[in-house]
A and B are shown apart, each in its own frame.
Chain A
Amino acid sequence: MMDNLAIVAFLAYALTVLAGGILAVLARSLVRALAGLILTLFGVAGLYLLMSSPFLAFMQILIYVGAVGVIIFFAVMLTRPPAGAEEGEPRPFRQIVLATVSGLAPAALLGLACWKYRVEAGRVPADVSVSRLGEVLLGPYVLAFELISVVLFVAMAGAVVLGFERKREG
């Protein structure tokens, strides 16, 4: 019974991810593409919940949907193209082929690798408490933890510096 429920939930989340991803890639207006991306992010958060990692699911909603979604929305608003020019025109056949091949080839290659070197996987995901996550973050991962704060600081500072740039003559 629970097994069937899990399969139904997985299919629902996977469909959400697929629909959102297609909308994000193919929508004409960038605002709709952003809505598709947010749908995908919610679907992936659901998959995290299904894998019994609720902390990660909430971080996904907090960081991705909250922060990254708003940042991309700012990017859409600040660079608004003239009306009607939003990726509407038909594409040459060559570009369609190139885009499809470049999407399928890496996915197929990695899928082949996953298939060939598949490992035994349990049906029940591991259960990790948040306090254990904190211990690992300040134990084996302490260098990465400190470095990512430096990376975030540098990115923010760089963004501010770029934002202050004035138009130069010439």
Chain B
Amino acid sequence: MSCLNDLLNNPLVYYQSVALMLLGLGFFGLIWRKSLVGMLISVELMLNGAGLAIVAASQLTRADAAMGQLAALLVMGLAAAEATLVLAITVVVARRFGHVESENISELRG
């Protein structure tokens, strides 16, 4: 029972559970979605969860809060770069194959 109390009094656990929820939803969507754009949306969900976990771990503990916030900012920058590249790749795939369904864009036979 004291264990549960410990958990309920620890705000870090709340934020981490939201971040884990985002991670789980992102993985689920990555397998579930067929189009590349849907998979991109799922990856963005996961990256958001990562940023949330980093900020929570630095803001609520004795770690250096400024470094945690800036690490989340760097994650945001990487997510922006990744989204740009995926947009370009999706456009090329759509031009070449006429659709962006990940199961039907393989040209290798075997």
Chain B residues touching A, range: 35 or more
Instruction: Provide the bound-state CA to CA distance between A63 and B85, in Å.
Output: 16
Complex contact B80–A68 (CB within 8 A): yes
Shortest distance between the CB of A154 and any CB in chain B (Å): 8
Complex contact A79–B84 (CB within 8 A): no
Interface check A165, CB cutoff 8 A: yes
Complex contact A75–B40 (CB within 8 A): yes
Residue from the list B24, B36, B60, B81 in contact with A106, Cβ < 8 A: B24
Interface residues of A in 40-94 (CB under 8 A from B): 40-41, 44, 47-48, 51-53, 55-56, 59-60, 63-64, 67-68, 71-72, 74-76, 78-79, 81, 86-87, 91
Interface check B1, CB cutoff 8 A: no
Interface residues of B in 53-110 (CB under 8 A from A): 55-56, 58-62, 64-67, 69-70, 72-74, 76-96, 99-101
Known contacts A75-B86, A78-B94, A159-B87; is A87 also within 8 Å of B20 by CB? no
Q: Specify which chain A residues have a CB less than 8 angstroms from the CB of B93 in the assembled complex.
A: 79
A contacts with B: majority SS? helix
Q: Specify which chain B residues have a CB less than 8 angstroms from the CB of A37 in the assembled complex.
A: 41, 44-45
Interface check A114, CB cutoff 8 A: yes
Shortest distance between the CB of B45 and any CB in chain A (Å): 6
Instruction: Provide the bound-state CA to CA distance between A37 and B91, in Å.
Output: 21
Complex contact A33–B41 (CB within 8 A): yes
Complex contact A155–B18 (CB within 8 A): no
Complex contact B84–A114 (CB within 8 A): no
Shortest distance between the CB of B38 and any CB in chain A (Å): 6
Interface check A126, CB cutoff 8 A: yes
Instruction: Provide the bound-state CA to CA distance between A67 and B7, in Å.
Output: 37
Residue from the list A63, A75, A110, A137 in contact with B90, Cβ < 8 A: A75
Complex contact B90–A78 (CB within 8 A): yes
Complex contact B17–A128 (CB within 8 A): no
Instruction: Provide the bound-state CA to CA distance between A18 and B26, in Å.
Output: 12
Known contacts A78-B90, A121-B11; is A68 also within 8 Å of B38 by CB? no
Complex contact A48–B55 (CB within 8 A): yes
Residue from the list B13, B34, B65 in contact with A87, Cβ < 8 A: B34
Complex contact B21–A107 (CB within 8 A): yes
5 contacts between A and B (CB under 8 A): A68-B80, A119-B61, A121-B12, A135-B66, A151-B78
